[in-house]
C-alpha cells in the first residue's frame, strides 16, 4: 500500500458501508466504492483490492483519498469534470437572438435550427438551447384578428351582459350558421385501431355534396335548436327564425346574439322582426366570432363527429348531425362566461397601439 494511506472505519460507518453494499437498489458505483473502503480498512493491499473489485490502481487510490478527505458522504458524490468543449460566449447567444428576430436571408418565412446553426457556425443543439433559454420559437406563429368596429365596446358589453346577467323571463340564444359542411366518403375502407397502431383512413376522399347547419344555443340551459338547410340566404334564415318561434315558449322575450352577416340584416328579415316584437337582435362586433357562444358547439361537432366521419350522401350527413344534436340535448350544459370585458377591451387597445406603432 502507498505510504500515507490509513483508513480507520468506526463500527457505525462500517455498518453503513455494509448496508450500502447489500442494498440492491443503490447504484453499482456506490457499491464498489464501499467495497474498496472496507477492504482497505481490513488491511488488504492495492493489488488484492484491484483483483476483488476489478478496478484500476488509480481508481482505488482515488476512492481511498476521497474517503479520507470527505468520509462516507464522499462515496456518494461525483466531482464534476470540466467539459472538453469550451462554452459558447455571450456574444454568440446575442447574435443568435438578434438574427432570430430578423428575416432569414434565404427564400424562407422563418429561421430553422439548421439554417441558424449554419449562419452562426455552431451546432443545432446549441441553437435550440439558446432559443429555449430566451423563449424563442420561430417555427410557431399565433393568429389574431383585431376588430375595427367603431361600436366594439358597446357591442361587447351588450353581449357579455346577456351572458352574465340575462333579462328575467327571457330566452337568450346564441345563433350562427355552419356552412359548407361536406359529406365526405373515403376511397378505401380504413383499418380500426389496435394495440400499437392508430386507426387509419385514406388521405383522399369523394365529395357527395354539402349542407348548412343553422343552430341556436340556449345560453341558460345549454340546449340546441338546429336545422339543416341547403343554402344560407335570408330565406333560410327566416325559416329558421320561424322554427325558433314555434319551439320557444310563447310569452317569453327572445334575445338572439348573432354576427354581421348580410343575410341577418336583409330588409325582409327586418320586416319579420317588425311582425315578431318579442325577438331582439344583438350583433357581435365585426371579426369577433369568439364572442358567439355557439361557436364552441360547432367546434365540438367538428372534432367529435365530422372530422373523421364517413358519409355516403348528404342525407347520411344530415342524419348524423341530427343524432349529434339529439345527444347534446339529452345532457345539456349551460354556457358560462368567465372573461372580464374590461380586460378584453384593454387587450384590444394594446393590440391597436402596437399595430399603429409598427405600421
**Mean local confidence (pLDDT), 90-106:** 91
Domain 152-191+201-352 has CATH 3.30.420.10: yes
Across the chain, what does the average pLDDT equal?
Answer: 91
Alpha helices (H) in the chain, listed in sequence order: 11-22, 28-41, 46-53, 57-70, 90-100, 113-120, 124-134, 152-164, 234-247, 267-275, 294-301, 314-330, 341-358
Grouping H, G, I as helix, E, B as strand and the rest as coil, residue 213 is strand
Task: Return d(Cα 27, Cα 78) in angstroms, integer.
Answer: 12
Note the pLDDT of residue 3: 62
Note the pLDDT of residue 173: 96
Grouping H, G, I as helix, E, B as strand and the rest as coil, residue 245 is helix
User: pLDDT tens across 290-338, in order?
Assistant: 999 999 999 999 999 999 999 999 999 999 999 999 999 999 999 999 9
Residue 129 has φ and ψ, to the nearest 5°, of -65, -40
CA angle 44, 46, 49 (to 5 degrees): 65
User: pLDDT tens across 135-154, in order?
Assistant: 999 999 998 888 988 999 99
**Mean local confidence (pLDDT), 79-106:** 85
CA angle 325, 315, 205 (to 5 degrees): 100
**Are the C-beta atoms of 169 and 200 separated by less than 8 Å?**
no
Query: Model's pTM, two decimal places?
Result: 0.72
Q: Using 50, 70 and 90 to split pLDDT, how confident is the model at 77?
A: confident
Q: Using 50, 70 and 90 to split pLDDT, how confident is the model at 107?
A: confident
Whether the CA torsion 62, 64, 70, 74 is positive or negative: it is: positive
Buried b / exposed e over 194-216, threshold 16 CB at 10 Å, is eeeeeeeeeeeeeebeebbbbbb
**Are the C-beta atoms of 212 and 231 separated by less than 8 Å?**
yes
Q: In terms of Cα–Cα distance, which of 181, 183, 203 is closest to 312?
A: 183
Grouping H, G, I as helix, E, B as strand and the rest as coil, residue 229 is strand
Domain boundaries, the chain: 11-75, 91-103+110-134, 152-191+201-352
For the cut 90, the answer to whether the pLDDT of residue 160 exceeds it is: yes
Q: In terms of Cα–Cα distance, which of 133, 103, 329 is closest to 222?
A: 329
**Mean local confidence (pLDDT), 28-44:** 89
* Alpha carbon 110 to chain centroid, angstroms: 22
**Are the C-beta atoms of 256 and 248 separated by less than 8 Å?**
no
Residue 107 has φ and ψ, to the nearest 5°, of -80, 80
**Mean local confidence (pLDDT), 191-215:** 93
Task: Return d(Cα 154, Cα 147) in angstroms, integer.
Answer: 13
**Mean local confidence (pLDDT), 201-224:** 94
Note the pLDDT of residue 219: 94
- The burial of 341, by beta-carbon neighbours within 10 Å (0-12 exposed, 13-18 middle, 19 or more buried), is given as middle
Where is pLDDT greater, at 80 or 132?
Answer: 132
Residue positions counted in the chain: 359
The answer for residues whose C-beta is within 8 angstroms of residue 316's C-beta and 6 or more apart is: 183, 208
Amino acid at each position: 500500500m502507498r505510504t500515507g494511506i490509513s483508513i480507520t472505519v468506526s463500527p457505525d460507518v462500517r455498518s453503513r458501508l455494509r448496508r450500502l453494499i447489500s442494498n440492491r437498489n443503490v447504484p453499482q458505483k456506490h457499491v464498489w466504492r464501499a467495497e474498496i473502503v472496507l477492504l482497505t480498512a481490513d488491511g488488504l493491499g492495492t493489488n488484492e483490492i484491484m483483483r476483488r473489485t476489478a478496478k484500476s490502481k488509480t481508481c482505488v487510490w482515488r476512492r481511498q483519498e476521497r474517503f479520507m478527505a470527505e468520509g462516507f458522504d464522499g462515496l456518494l458524490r461525483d466531482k464534476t469534470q470540466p467539459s472538453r468543449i469550451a462554452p459558447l460566449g455571450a456574444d454568440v447567444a446575442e447574435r443568435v437572438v438578434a438574427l432570430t428576430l430578423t428575416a432569414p436571408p434565404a427564400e424562407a418565412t422563418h429561421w430553422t435550427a439548421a439554417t441558424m446553426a449554419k449562419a452562426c457556425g455552431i451546432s443545432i443543439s446549441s441553437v435550440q438551447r439558446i432559443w429555449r433559454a430566451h423563449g424563442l420559437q420561430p417555427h410557431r406563429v399565433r393568429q389574431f384578428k383585431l376588430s375595427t368596429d367603431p361600436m366594439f365596446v358597446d357591442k361587447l358589453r351588450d353581449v357579455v351582459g346577456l351572458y352574465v346577467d340575462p333579462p328575467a323571463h327571457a330566452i337568450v340564444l346564441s345563433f350562427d350558421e355552419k356552412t359548407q359542411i361536406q359529406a365526405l366518403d373515403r376511397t378505401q375502407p380504413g383499418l380500426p385501431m389496435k394495440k400499437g397502431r392508430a386507426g387509419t383512413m385514406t388521405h383522399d376522399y369523394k365529395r357527395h355534396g354539402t349542407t348548412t347547419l343553422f343552430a341556436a344555443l340556449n345560453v341558460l340551459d345549454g340546449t340546441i335548436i338546429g336545422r339543416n338547410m341547403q343554402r344560407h340566404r335570408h330565406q333560410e334564415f327566416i325559416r329558421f327564425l320561424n322554427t325558433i318561434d314555434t319551439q320557444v315558449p310563447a310569452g317569453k322575450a327572445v334575445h338572439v346574439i348573432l354576427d354581421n352577416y348580410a343575410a341577418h340584416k336583409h330588409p325582409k328579415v327586418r320586416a319579420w322582426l317588425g311582425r315578431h316584437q318579442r325577438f331582439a337582435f344583438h350583433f357581435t362586433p365585426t371579426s369577433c366570432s369568439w364572442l358567439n357562444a355557439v361557436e364552441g358547439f360547432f367546434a365540438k361537432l367538428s372534432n367529435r363527429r365530422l372530422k373523421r366521419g364517413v358519409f355516403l350522401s348528404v342525407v347520411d350527413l344530415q342524419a348524423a348531425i341530427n343524432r349529434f344534436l339529439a345527444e347534446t340535448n339529452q345532457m345539456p350544459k349551460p354556457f358560462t362566461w368567465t372573461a372580464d370585458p374590461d380586460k378584453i377591451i384593454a387587450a384590444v387597445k394594446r393590440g391597436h397601439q402596437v399595430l399603429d406603432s409598427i405600421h
